[in-house]
Structure 1
Amino acid sequence: MRAIVYTETGDAGVLSLTEREIPRPGPGEVRVRVVVSGVNPTDWKSRKGASTRERGAGESVPNQDGAGVVDAVGPGVTSLVPGDRVWIYLAAPDYGATGTAQEYTVQPERRLVKLPDEVSLEVGASLGVPAMTAHRALTVAEDGPSRLAPGALKGKAVLVAGGAGAVGHAAIQLARWAGATVLTTVSGPEKAALAGAAGAEHVINYRAEDVAARVREVCPEGVDVVVEVSPAQNLGIDLAVVKPRGVVALYANDGGQDITLNIGAGMGPNVRLQFVLLYTVGDAALLAAAEDVAAAVADGALPIGEEHGLPLLRFGLDEIAAAHDAVEHAAVGKVLVQVGAE
């Protein structure tokens, strides 16, 4: 089978297309014929060696997200059968050769979620990291909810920083599905149009407007949850607009690694700062996210494409380096790699 591998960290040039043996599923494992592989910032960061996770010797196959068709199941697998359409999350959490940038991947049963027949595999490959990260960010407030469903966020307000990004897009959609009032920040008119198409009710251009003032106009008491992509730049604003007992969920470090924190601004209102990283949230949180995201997908709440606020950027498997570079250089939209045919 065709597979993308790398044996050392570095720029996208370390990725190479090779032939590997088709793996066999063991007990509790499932083999998936990959159709679409999704690329996220975590993929290029791991490839460059920026991850805190240990990389062992041998070949690594990149990309955590993907979607395809179950090809074979190992002993003890009960929830899936050959022919099932599935989406994959955290395909290679500890490096190794199980990423989705290959024609077949073997995964633990728990890493696969059924995809309804009416939902495209492109949608499936776009879920994983973005949607599950967004779910975690929306469910860590002290006063809840801990799960998402229609009505779970009714009466609550959510501010999504960077609503035109993949996680921001998913956070807008999930928050709206759960009944929240959704505000978002963007850097210009084109991204504003995308965030609006995703479902944000209030879109704020942070380069032209006073974000804190605008948020307080819409939500005089403040917001319950901030989904934050650039805490080094935005934490002061976040603390100025979050409600007492609210949460600022930090899932990325865009714009800088270090935070300057006014302790009093957060201490007085009992604000929670919650760091979010899927690799270490634990199995219970992953399962909850997968179940709730699957329910949202079944309700049609997580569409993609430019008309839904997330343009699709498509690459072939032999264009994997360009796909990784596109994500690294902040291309607007979801980068997908076509691995095979459905």
Structure 2
Amino acid sequence: MKAAWYEAFGKPEEVLKVGEWKTPSPGHGEVKIRLQASGVNPSDTKKRAGANPALLDLGPVIPHSDGSGIIEEVGSGVPSSRVGERVWTWNAQYGRQEGTAAEFVCIPSQQAVWLPDNASFEAGAMMAIPAMTAHRAVFADGDVSGQNVLITGGSGRVGYYAIQWAKYFGANVIATASSNASIQECKKAGADLVVGHPSEEVNKEILDFTGGAKIDRVVEGDFGANLLPVLDVIKTSGVIASYSSMTDMNPSIPFVRMMFMDLTMRLVLVYAMPDEAKADAIEDITEFLSMDRLDNRVAESYTLDDIAKAHLSIENGGNNGSVIVNI
């Protein structure tokens, strides 16, 4: 089969190779998927750059955990009725060497989720890391109906889905954005108010909008950069659910202040989500895809031969939507 892989860490144009790779066969409990689209996420580019030094100990890596395609073959223990099923994948390259940047991938059957006929393969390739992360961040600490929810970086891949999840389930959604284009993206997703990044002035706008009520839950895309201004606007016993801290990867926290506010600080990683949380996210994703209720944005599409350009695009940032490699 045709695949992309790396056997050393480094820049995408220097280490990513495209060529022939042995076609996998499904083992017990697995399905073999003929891939149509592969989603590129920051975790994929970070791993390729060397964030996990032990990753290559077992050999070269075919990158990407998110993808979509059609089940072509099943292993023992999997119903043959799954052959021909359109599916999307989660955690395809987590704890494994072979991900979705290839013509085929074999993964455990439960990690291949039915993709409704009305949903595109490109949409399927963004359901795992972007949509599931957002679902976990929004709902991990209970119902958001009637709550004031602040979503920082609302035009980003995760933030955009977080706005949609929170709004569809009855929250008053406030999003932050840094440009006119990003503001429009947040409004398109359904945000009730869009403001600049957290600051004293922005907090005043937020509290004016809520009538003085503080924020119940924060979905945080840059924890270290935003924590202090967020503490001025979140209520006592509120929740900060963060999935990233890019500006400061090892931030310090004002522990005593946060303790006296009885805050919950939740760190979200889609790879480590509890099975129950994954099941809840998959149930909602399936329903919403079936009903065409999710806005799934493709920022850029590339061929497998141009996978290095796709990785570089993610590293350069500024994408309003997902970067997809069409297989």
TM-score, length of structure 1 as denominator length: 0.90
> Offset of 1:95 from its aligned partner?
4.1
Is 2:169 the partner of 1:178? yes
> Offset of 1:79 from its aligned partner?
8.8
Q: How many residues align structurally? A: 324
Separation of aligned partners in 1, 2:34 and 2:50: 28
Contact 1:140–1:247 (8 Å) recurs in 2: no
Q: 1:166-199: per-residue Cα shift (whole Å, max 9, x none)?
A: 0001111111121211110011111111111111
Match of 2:21 in 1: 20
Distance 1:171 1:51, change over 3 A: farther
Is 2:315 the partner of 1:323? no
Gaps in structure 1 of 5+ consecutive residues: 146-152, 306-310
> Offset of 1:62 from its aligned partner?
0.3
Whichever residue aligns with residue 125 of structure 2, its letter is A
Q: Once the two structures are aligned, what percentage of the paired residues are identical? A: 36
Is 2:181 the partner of 1:227? no
SS of residue in 2 equivalent to 1:68: strand
Contact 1:25–1:72 (8 Å) recurs in 2: yes
Match of 1:248 in 2: 240
Of the structure 1 ranges 13-22 and 294-303, higher mean CA displacement relative to structure 2 is found in: 294-303
Separation of aligned partners in 2, 1:123 and 1:270: 39
Separation of aligned partners in 2, 1:205 and 1:34: 39
Contact 1:61–1:95 (8 Å) recurs in 2: no
Q: 1:232-256: per-residue Cα shift (whole Å, max 9, x none)?
A: 1100122122222211011012211
Match of 1:214 in 2: 205
1:272 to 257, 264, 268: 264
Whichever residue aligns with residue 6 of structure 2, its letter is Y
Gaps in structure 2 of 5+ consecutive residues: none
Match of 1:198 in 2: 189
Distance 1:52 1:199, change over 3 A: farther
Separation of aligned partners in 1, 2:55 and 2:325: 26
Distance 1:213 1:265, change over 3 A: farther
> Offset of 1:103 from its aligned partner?
0.4
> Offset of 1:54 from its aligned partner?
4.4
Of the structure 1 ranges 226-235 and 53-62, higher mean CA displacement relative to structure 2 is found in: 53-62
Contact 2:116–2:286 (8 Å) recurs in 1: no
SS of residue in 2 equivalent to 1:258: coil
Separation of aligned partners in 2, 1:53 and 1:191: 37
1:330-341 → structure 2 map (5 Å cutoff): 330-332=317-319, 333-339=321-327
Whichever residue aligns with residue 282 of structure 2, its letter is A
Is 2:146 the partner of 1:155? yes
SS of residue in 1 equivalent to 2:67: strand
Of the structure 1 ranges 166-175 and 253-262, higher mean CA displacement relative to structure 2 is found in: 253-262
> Offset of 1:129 from its aligned partner?
0.2
> Offset of 1:123 from its aligned partner?
0.9
Of the structure 1 ranges 16-25 and 53-62, higher mean CA displacement relative to structure 2 is found in: 53-62
Whichever residue aligns with residue 219 of structure 2, its letter is V
SS of residue in 2 equivalent to 1:290: helix
Match of 2:156 in 1: 165
Distance 1:113 1:295, change over 3 A: same
Separation of aligned partners in 1, 2:43 and 2:223: 18
Separation of aligned partners in 2, 1:203 and 1:215: 9
RMSD: 1.9
Contact 1:7–1:57 (8 Å) recurs in 2: no
1:126-145 → structure 2 map (5 Å cutoff): 126-141=126-141, 144-145=142-143
1:279-298 → structure 2 map (5 Å cutoff): 279-298=271-290
Separation of aligned partners in 1, 2:233 and 2:147: 13
Is 2:120 the partner of 1:120? yes
Of the structure 1 ranges 78-87 and 273-282, higher mean CA displacement relative to structure 2 is found in: 78-87
Whichever residue aligns with residue 100 of structure 1, its letter is T
Separation of aligned partners in 1, 2:266 and 2:81: 35
Match of 1:31 in 2: 32
Contact 1:9–1:48 (8 Å) recurs in 2: yes
Whichever residue aligns with residue 226 of structure 2, its letter is N
Separation of aligned partners in 2, 1:335 and 1:281: 23
SS of residue in 2 equivalent to 1:59: coil
Contact 1:158–1:227 (8 Å) recurs in 2: yes
SS of residue in 2 equivalent to 1:274: strand
Contact 1:62–1:95 (8 Å) recurs in 2: no
Contact 1:161–1:229 (8 Å) recurs in 2: yes
SS of residue in 2 equivalent to 1:210: helix
